[in-house]
Amino acid sequence: MTRREDMTLTSSGYFVSQEAPIAAANPIPRPAAAPPDILRCAYMELVVTDLAASRAFYVDVLGLYVTEEDDTTIYLRSTEEFIHHNLVLRTGPVAAVAAFSYRVRSPEDLERAVAFFTELGCRVERRPEGFVKGIGDSVRVEDPLGFPYEFFHQADHVERMSWRYDLHVPGELVRLDHFNQVTPDVPRAVSYMQSLGFRVTEDIQDEEGTVYAAWMRRKPTVHDTAMTGGDGPRMHHVCFATHEKHNILAICDKLGALRRSDAIERGPGRHGVSNAFYLYLRDPDGHRVEVYTQDYYTGDPDNPVITWDVHDNQRRDWWGNPVVPSWYTDASLVLDLDGNPQPVRARTDASEMAVTIGADGFSYTRRDDDEAMPEWKQGEYKLGHQL
């Protein structure tokens, strides 16, 4: 819990403080072993139930590049990527996430990953030949939060497609930007991720110090992954970046033209958190994909940590547009290392949806306004059946 009096209120409406604004009441013990030196989020392995439908979505609609494919698996990458893939689509009986994969700096970091997670008592599996094509020696773990995390260094190189303007589409996805995970106890998740070497860049809290979500980075952007408070472990979304805002609008136009506007769940809009322009889509299995652009540099050691008030109605959409309920409630299952869905545990802390749009929830646009939001604005979400 961070005390508001230890934070500085900015003219933009959020608070700033220094690293570690979140203290866990029930932390995961910090291993004595050093963590692996993680470079960045690198790829996600997704299990899909209809490979042809998923291919149509990720390749034909979103324009990801096919590095390699066969009857069961498709390896996809974004424009600027030079390693084999950023997304693996593998056919299976239950739509779920098989791996959140991070690239580490050196082969020796794999030894560190084994030691770190073994000390945590986690199940650890190392395959010198890798778990998927294009990726060498890899370590997969069932992490302390129940997520399937992978670490690798060696990867096959492929051509960067940045100069192939002849192949680019108006909504070009240029990089994998981040993952987003759902977990019941955000402070506990943050303390574990900090022991793994991640730094918090932003979070959402209430005045009592309940933490609803936190964003954490290794690469010098707002995040490589975020922890969203909710029933978990589940995967909230995987996110690709575009160069510009207009690329995101082009994706919306294309989905409309294809009569696939039902794939648009939320947005386009401007986030408060991260300051990025965003769009949330749902793939044919319901896996959530974000398209995102123009967050900010966070690489200095004294980068200020931003805390948003959960009642600030600009925190998740800077224009005050409502968050749809499905965005709070829906997420994808994650698999254990045997390929079975991990059981989901309920969040016991207050839910963000309940405190902002529930019967006794409230939110504000201007912190010190005495007047409540107009009645038509209260509730702060789109009803599913509104005209």
Residues near Fe ion (CB under 5 A): 180, 239, 290
Q: What is the CA radius of gyration of the chain?
A: 20
Return the number of the residue (267 or 361) whose C-beta is nearest Fe ion.
267
Least spacing, CB of residue 181 vs Fe ion, in Å: 11
Spatial separation of the C-alpha atoms in residues 53 and 97, rounded to whole Å: 17
Least spacing, CB of residue 290 vs Fe ion, in Å: 4
Return the number of the residue (139 or 204) whose C-beta is nearest Fe ion.
204
Least spacing, CB of residue 295 vs Fe ion, in Å: 9
Return the number of the residue (172 or 224) whose C-beta is nearest Fe ion.
224
Four-point Cα dihedral 277, 160, 216, 44, nearest 10? 100
Spatial separation of the C-alpha atoms in residues 277 and 272, rounded to whole Å: 9
Spatial separation of the C-alpha atoms in residues 213 and 211, rounded to whole Å: 6
Least spacing, CB of residue 178 vs Fe ion, in Å: 6
Return the number of the residue (124 or 176) whose C-beta is nearest Fe ion.
176
Spatial separation of the C-alpha atoms in residues 200 and 213, rounded to whole Å: 11
Peptide bond connecting 233 to the previous residue in cis, omega within 30 degrees of 0:
yes
Least spacing, CB of residue 4 vs Fe ion, in Å: 26
Return the number of the residue (131 or 292) whose C-beta is nearest Fe ion.
292
Least spacing, CB of residue 350 vs Fe ion, in Å: 22
Least spacing, CB of residue 297 vs Fe ion, in Å: 17
Least spacing, CB of residue 237 vs Fe ion, in Å: 6
Return the number of the residue (142 or 290) whose C-beta is nearest Fe ion.
290
Return the number of the residue (180 or 342) whose C-beta is nearest Fe ion.
180
Contacts (Cβ under 8 Å, ≥6 apart) of 379: 322, 357
Spatial separation of the C-alpha atoms in residues 223 and 218, rounded to whole Å: 7
Contacts (Cβ under 8 Å, ≥6 apart) of 5: none
Return the number of the residue (290 or 380) whose C-beta is nearest Fe ion.
290
Spatial separation of the C-alpha atoms in residues 242 and 173, rounded to whole Å: 5
Contacts (Cβ under 8 Å, ≥6 apart) of 165: none
Are the C-beta atoms of 192 and 147 separated by less than 8 Å? no
**CA neighbor of 331 nearest in space, from 142, 181, 134:** 181
